[in-house]
Copies of this chain bind each other. A is one copy, B any other.
Amino acid sequence: MATNGAPHPTGPGVKSNKSKFDPNFTEHVVGLMSAETKPRHREILTSLITHLHDFCRDVELTQEEWIIGVNYVNAIGQAYQKNRNEAWRVCDILGVESLVDEINHTVVTDVEHPSQATSSTILGPFWSPETPFRELGASVVQDMPKDGQLTFFHGVIRDVDTGKGIPGAVFDMWQASTNGKYDVFDPENQTRHNLRGKFKTDENGKFWFYCLKPTEYAIDTSGPSADLLKIMGRHPWRPAHIHAMVTHPDYIDVTVQLYPNDDPYLETDTVCAVKDDLLLTFKPVENEKNGATLDVEYDVRLLSKKYKPDSTMLKQNANQNKFD
């Protein structure tokens, strides 16, 4: 039972909010969990309850503010539709998806590597398990928009430790068209698999293909997630990006979003998913044999699975649940 809420004595200069309120209350709530509670549930809920209570005490949340929060959580779920997951979006705006991605893809090894593995960033909702393999040198641009800029994209998928190219690795890429839409959400302008392709590296670990220079787009600006952006004084724009999931059976897979290094939204990405090693330099070219006006080179560095033998394709599994 909680103690009676009487103010507790504080020493001179002691300003802790905890000491002002019942110091046993959080422990009491955590202690309500019984022997039936699974260890991992207990660990997560203990931390969640503790942080939630500390948050309320830290800001001395008023009842009106708490009710706004209650109504907001209800509104998130009420706005839920197939292909509209507001809880997911709110997490993105608060940086939670990006942080969870980092937590699950930080590999700490005891070994000094000559270079760093390519950083992971969030998958986003638009990856497709059905993207076709294409020949090296093919174009993913099935439907060229009027304002599209054809780009020759090439690079090497390398082993972090040896620096050598990895043959047979897969660079599975997808991007939005210049109207900010992905193929499946834009049937009037795009055929299926437009701006998507899987490419397998050659015997030297090289891959090359044609795509569009990516362009910025705004996330949906209706609903509770947009209200949060507004309260925070934030814009709804994502920097332009090309997605890629890079895999090989012997290496820890990495999912990236690659951004033009001169994009105006790099610092203020709505979903907080930009990392310094994921930037691309687009160089103008002339008389390219297939008409590309831009050239970009990007190498991916993968870490051997020996450092994390239980590494699995978590993101793909995760994505399956997104639109349940």
Contact = CB atoms under 8 A, between A and B. Distances in A.
B276 A71 contact: no
Interface in A298-324: 314-315, 317-318, 321-322, 324
Contact of A274 (B1, B53, B54): B1
Given A65-B44, A67-B321, A106-B21, A99 B33 contact: no
Given A32-B272, A58-B47, A234-B33, A77 B73 contact: yes
Contacts of A266: 1
A232 interface: yes
Contacts of A34: 232-234
A268 B32 CA distance: 6
Interface string A1-35: 11111110000000000001110011011001111
A102 B3 CA distance: 11
Contacts of A2: 98, 272, 274-276
B267 A1 contact: yes
A133 interface: no
Interface string A261-293: 000001111001011111000000000000000
Interface residues of A, number: 100
A85 B74 contact: yes
A181 to B, nearest CB: 23
Nearest to A34: B233
Contacts of A106: 5, 7, 20-21
A70 B100 CA distance: 12
Highest count of chain B CB atoms <10 Å: which of A5, A28, A41, A48: A5
B44 A103 contact: no
Contact of A3 (B26, B88, B232, B276): B276
B231 A53 contact: no
Interface stretch (A89-97, A200-208, A210-218): A89-97
A49 interface: yes
Q: Count the copies.
A: 2
Given A70-B87, A76-B74, A120-B5, A94 B49 contact: yes
B104 A49 contact: no
Nearest to A120: B5
Interface in A47-71: 47-49, 51-67, 70-71
A56 B103 contact: yes
A119 interface: yes
Contact of A4 (B28, B91, B116): B116
A188 interface: no
A78 interface: yes
14 contacts: A1-B267, A1-B275, A2-B272, A4-B116, A4-B119, A25-B98, A25-B272, A45-B231, A57-B99, A61-B103, A67-B318, A74-B80, A74-B87, A77-B79
